[in-house]
């Protein structure tokens, strides 16, 4: 894992520094307070590392951005289809897709994390609905929810792997992509297991509004995460993934990265939140904050709540001071998120994948 200097976070110009880097996404656990506009199609140079036909990927991306979605042409995998999949090979093929200098900050990693998060973070423990089981995020209307703007890019990028591994479910593919991205960008080892099944129709799509609103404060954040079954410590650990990626004005309405190393999984979200002075951004967009010194980095209103709320702040201070502590708490919280509502087979194995480096 490449070491990222804290000093990088003080420079206005951002550079992709992590292996298989990726600040592609607007890795936002929080979504916009308004409906996102349809994003523009991004050109990407096809890769053959994963044994994928470049023409297929281009066609898939174009189709996804046109508002319709591709399927593998194979029968929908059953809950037992995972037994026919070599997940170590899938991991390697996802990792081979991460780097792309023509996409965002040079990587699809952050948008893969966001896809995994948004596919899973719709879970409601009271009703038992939502979550990654079923992969309803690929259907309208859920795919068109404002919080999911831009995720068609991630789904289209992964679609050739669905063709290559027809027995993998979309739910397993999307969540595994998030695990790959966290690990290959320098984050902790995240335990993952297969066994999700896929819905065949959109009837069970979750209603809009289950993901957090970036314009809100601590009470709203707790309402959203408590609904899923998280506590304050887990919430504070999960928000650390905002070290990755950036916001896009043509998706969420917000704009900018959280720090200078948006393709490296670090504890920089916490250090920047505490050490910088954050002031309201002067612009025509929604209310957000920028660092006073360089105005190169941003925080969302919901991010600031982790600095001002005493219960959240104690964890922010802990993770800012100790990246290992952050990694140790993030990994199980992220695994929990990806498994919400999933009824795994009793013999589903638990994987701890090794990174490619």
Q: What does the alpha-carbon distance between residue 344 and residue 314 come to, in Å, rounded to a whole number?
A: 35
CA–CA separation, 102 vs 315, rounded Å?
36
Give the rounded distance of the alpha carbon of 121 from its chain centre: 10
Q: CB of 253 within 8 A of CB of 34?
A: yes
> Alpha carbon of 322 to those of 162, 187, 239: distances in Å?
38, 14, 15
How many angstroms separate the CA atoms of 137 and 298, rounded?
28
Query: For residues 187 and 327, is the Cβ–Cβ distance under 8 A?
Result: yes
351 forms beta bridges with 192
Nearest to 280 by CA among 251, 244, 304: 304
Catalytic residue among 118, 145, 167, 248: 118
What angle is formed at CA 96 by the lines to CA 90 and CA 101, rounded to 5 degrees?
Answer: 150
Question: What is the DSSP pairing of strand 256-257 with strand 278-280?
Answer: unpaired
Alpha helix (H) residue ranges in the chain: 54-65, 87-97, 109-120, 151-164, 170-184, 218-228, 232-238, 268-275, 301-308, 310-321, 323-339
Exposed, middle or buried, 332 (CB in 10 Å: 0-12/13-18/19+)? Answer: middle
Residue 178 is encoded by which pair of tokens? Answer: 């998030």
The one catalytic residue in 82, 117, 258, 278 is 258
3-state secondary structure of 257: strand
Q: Is 167 a catalytic residue?
A: no
Quote the CA–CA distance of 344 and 197 in Å, as a whole number.
9
Q: What are phi and psi of 356, to 5 degrees?
A: -75, -25
- Look up residue 26 and give its two tokens: 């607007």
d(CA 5, CA 10): 10
Active-site residue, 118 included: yes
List, by residue number, the catalytic residues.
118, 258
């Amino acid at each position: 894992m490449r070491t990222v200097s804290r000093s990088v976070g003080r420079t206005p110009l951002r550079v992709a520094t992590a292996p298989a880097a990726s600040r592609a996404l607007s890795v936002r656990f929080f979504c916009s307070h308004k409906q996102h506009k349809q994003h523009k199609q991004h050109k990407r140079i096809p890769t053959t590392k994963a044994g994928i036909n470049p023409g297929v990927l281009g066609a898939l991306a174009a189709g996804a951005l046109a508002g319709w979605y591709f399927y593998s042409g194979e029968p929908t995998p059953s809950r037992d289809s995972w037994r026919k999949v070599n997940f170590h090979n899938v991991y390697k093929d996802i990792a081979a897709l991460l780097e792309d200098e023509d996409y965002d900050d040079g990587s699809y990693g952050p948008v893969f994390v966001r896809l995994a998060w948004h596919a899973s973070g719709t879970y409601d423990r009271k009703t038992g609905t939502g979550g990654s089981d079923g992969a309803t995020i690929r259907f309208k209307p859920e795919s068109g929810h404002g919080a999911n703007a831009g995720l068609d890019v991630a789904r289209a990028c992964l679609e050739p792997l669905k063709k290559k591994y027809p027995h993998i479910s979309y739910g397993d593919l999307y969540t595994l992509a998030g695990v790959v991205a966290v690990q290959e960008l320098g984050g902790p080892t995240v335990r993952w297991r297969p066994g999700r099944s896929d819905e065949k129709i959109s009837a069970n799509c979750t209603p809009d509004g289950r993901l957090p609103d970036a314009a809100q404060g601590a009470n709203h954040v707790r309402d959203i995460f408590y609904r899923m079954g998280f506590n304050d410590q887990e919430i504070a650990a999960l928000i650390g993934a905002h070290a990755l990626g950036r916001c896009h004005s043509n998706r969420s309405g917000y704009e900018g990265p959280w720090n200078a190393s948006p393709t490296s999984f670090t504890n920089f979200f916490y250090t920047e939140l505490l050490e910088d002075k954050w002031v309201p951004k002067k612009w025509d967009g929604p209310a957000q904050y920028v660092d006073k010194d360089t105005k190169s980095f941003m925080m969302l209103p919901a991010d600031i709540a982790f600095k001002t709320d005493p219960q959240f702040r104690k964890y922010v201070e802990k993770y800012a001071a100790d990246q290992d502590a952050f990694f140790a708490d993030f990994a199980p919280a992220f695994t929990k998120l990806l498994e919400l509502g999933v009824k795994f087979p009793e013999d589903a194995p638990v994987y701890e994948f090794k990174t490619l480096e």
